[in-house]
Amino acid sequence: MIPVNEPLIGEREFEYVTECLKTGWISSAGRFIEEFEQKWASYCGMKYGIAVSNGTVALQVAIKSLDLKPGDEVIIPSFTFAATAECVLYVGAKPVFVDIDPNTYNVDPKCVDKAITAKTKAIIVVHYGGQMADMDPIMESAEKHGACVIEDATEAHGATYKNRQAGAIAKIGCFSFYPNKNMTTGEGGMLVTDDAEIAEKARLLRNHGQVSRFQHIMIGYNYKMSDILAALGLAQLKRLNWVIQKKKEAAQFYEKLLSGVKGVQTPYVMPAASHTYMFYTLKFINAGARDLIMQHLEQVGIETVVAFPPLHMQPIYRSLCKFNDGDLRVTEDCANRVLSLPIYPHIARHDQEFIIKSMLEELKT
């Protein structure tokens, strides 16, 4: 089976993790945590990094740090993983789903502006699949209405928009280091911010609200990252730019193989943005063609993924958020026609050729 994503683990990862194990500091108090936080924040161009146990937790801590209350509204795309909506519901706030751009699959700034009300306290912008959203108009709308922006950059490590790094434009940026990302710690996540108050609150929230041992000033959680994971993350960070370059080369090879093929749209890259290809997402002429190709590729040993089925159409969100089929037409259309192909830095060119050859066999029938 050719996997849709595959992490790359090298000698440096073994070296760093072994060093961590030898120190005996394997929970959340070793030297690798602080170094990983500092270096990731610096990579993003932010002052503070707060490492946590996973990307969902990063989003949850970000939301909690803003002191949202039940009834507050948070604008998010429906075309995202469930964690984006879950972190809003955890604090009793209301997700307000908005539509996406049909080319980038990122949230449409015009839809964001139209959805803002007096109850809107935050906007979570998801950078889909390795490409950042069009941030300037979103930031302008947020500032005009007094809403805070959080970047869900869990899929966009190293991506840029107008030469600014993912996670570095909004008040808070959130990252995941799950194995399907461009860098991984197995599990793990990180918040980045320039706001010292938010950084301090995030540190308290991740560690039971403790200002010192057994001294608690707020209700917190056990959301810490282990030093072992931080050691893995530091090794991965040293390779990140290389990984991005290799994935860009793999994407360019797909483009070459698909040149002139009708009935399929390759990933669009905004002129103001870079793409790091966490996903290589195609859009087909219709849902029927996409589904047949997905089935055929599975039969010949090629894994693909539909990312993402719209949240507003799933049972729990229908009941909680009162959205119906047809409410977000672009999101629904894209979700019916997209398919992400295997892409990772060490994918073999002959595997890519086999993937496209197999896909075209079904597309032409």
Is 4 among the domain residues? no
Dist CA 165 CA 317 (whole Å): 32
Is 249 among the domain residues? yes
Dist CA 354 CA 33 (whole Å): 42
Same domain, yes or no: 202 and 291: no
**pLDDT-derived band at 324, boundaries 50, 70, 90:** low
Is 1 among the domain residues? no
The CATH number for 342's domain is 3.90.1150.10
pLDDT score of 364? 78
Q: Is the peptide bond before 308 cis (omega within 30 degrees of 0)?
A: yes
| pTM assigned to the model | 0.96
Same domain, yes or no: 219 and 75: yes
Dist CA 35 CA 97 (whole Å): 37
Same domain, yes or no: 25 and 161: yes
Same domain, yes or no: 196 and 303: no
Is 163 among the domain residues? yes
pLDDT score of 29? 82
Q: What is the mean pLDDT of residues 295-323?
A: 92
Is 315 among the domain residues? yes
**pLDDT-derived band at 27, boundaries 50, 70, 90:** confident
Tokens linked to 171: 């008040």
- Which of 235, 253, 280 is at the close of a domain? 235
pLDDT tens digits for range 205-247: 999 999 989 999 999 999 999 999 999 999 999 999 999 999 9
pLDDT score of 322? 73
pLDDT score of 363? 84
Is 2 among the domain residues? no
Same domain, yes or no: 231 and 245: no
**pLDDT-derived band at 111, boundaries 50, 70, 90:** very high
- Residue 76 host element (H or E): strand 73-77
| Percent of the chain predicted with pLDDT > 90 | 92
Q: What is the mean pLDDT of residues 174-184?
A: 98
The CATH number for 118's domain is 3.40.640.10
Same domain, yes or no: 174 and 248: no
Same domain, yes or no: 250 and 230: no
Dist CA 100 CA 232 (whole Å): 35
Checking if the pLDDT of 365 tops 80, the result is no
Same domain, yes or no: 247 and 217: no
Same domain, yes or no: 193 and 308: no
User: If you search the block for the tokens 């909690």, which residue do you land on?
Assistant: 64
Work out how many domains the chain is built from and give that number.
2
pLDDT score of 320? 84
Query: Residue 335 carries which side chain, given as an amino acid letter?
Result: A
Checking if the pLDDT of 342 tops 80, the result is yes
- Which of 235, 253, 273 is at the close of a domain? 235
Tokens linked to 216: 């608690």
pLDDT score of 108? 98
**pLDDT-derived band at 28, boundaries 50, 70, 90:** confident
**pLDDT-derived band at 310, boundaries 50, 70, 90:** very high
- Which of 235, 270, 286 is at the close of a domain? 235
Q: What is the mean pLDDT of residues 248-268?
A: 97
Sequential DSSP letters for 38-62: HHHHHHHT-SEEEEES-HHHHHHHH
Tokens linked to 135: 């941030």
Dist CA 116 CA 123 (whole Å): 9
Domain limits for position 345: 241-363
Same domain, yes or no: 246 and 211: no
Is 144 among the domain residues? yes
Same domain, yes or no: 287 and 320: yes
Is 297 among the domain residues? yes
pLDDT score of 12? 97
Checking if the pLDDT of 287 tops 70, the result is yes
Q: Which residues, 6+ apart, have CB-to-CB distance to 360 below 8 Å?
A: 261
Same domain, yes or no: 317 and 204: no
